[in-house]
Amino acid sequence: MYSKFAFIFFSSITFLFSNPWEKEKQQMIDTLIQYGIQDKNVLDAMSKVPRHEFVPKAYKSYSYEDTPLPIGFGQTISQPYIVAYMTEQLDVKKKDVVLEIGTGSGYQAAVLSLLAKEIYTIEIVPELCERSKKTLKQLGYNNVFVICGDGYKGYPDKAPFDRILLTAAPEKIPEILIQQLKDNGILVGPAGKIQELQYLYKIQKINHKIIEKKLIPVRFVPMVKPSK
């Protein structure tokens, strides 16, 4: 009897010490479910990716709160609910090649990497680009390729893509990105002239026809035009 309790006690202690963020992470997943996220694959991917590794030291203790957090250079890592919602809308399949615009911390790319074949992700701020490259490499996300540059051009080298995700908001979804979407592909991204009036859009290419759907109001950092 004693040895059974001792075993449970010590294995719980070991579990807690080897997974110090497990409880917070599970609470985050519970919140996502409460807010209506249903896709098991998305929830599963988000329960595997260590968000605290993508958050700067000063904000680590908030890693699993449902809130965006600063990552430097005036940019933010998106709120977990938005990451989950956008990923669910993107309906990623295991064979998919995905383009993300706005790598930021690399967190969204890491979540996508568990659901798709390859992720190409573009970041315009050189320091964030190098930092996210390093984080993703250290954590072993080997199917994520970070490209430093301007997302307005998309990534012609690997186009067309099965899925495209924008995590910064242009005034209007750039035509070039829609052109780089495969037939039967899906693009999800925010757009809007003013930060207070942005919406998330889902654009589907079905039999070469474009079908656009307005989803929910959102607030993203603007997608910036590079200074020439």
Residues that bind ligand SAH (CB under 6 A): 75-78, 101-102, 104-105, 107-108, 122-125, 128, 150-152, 167-168, 221, 223-224
Report the alpha-carbon distance of residue 86 to residue 103 in Å, rounded.
Answer: 15
Indicate if 78 belongs to the active site.
Answer: yes
Q: CB nearer to ligand SAH: give 89 or 167.
A: 167
Sequence-separated (6 or more) residues with CB below 8 Å from residue 83: 46, 107, 108, 111
Burial of 94 (0-12, 13-18, 19+ CB in 10 A): exposed
Contact between residue 179 and residue 157 where contact means Cβ atoms under 8 Å apart: no
Catalytic residue among 18, 47, 61, 78: 78
Catalytic residue ranges: 78
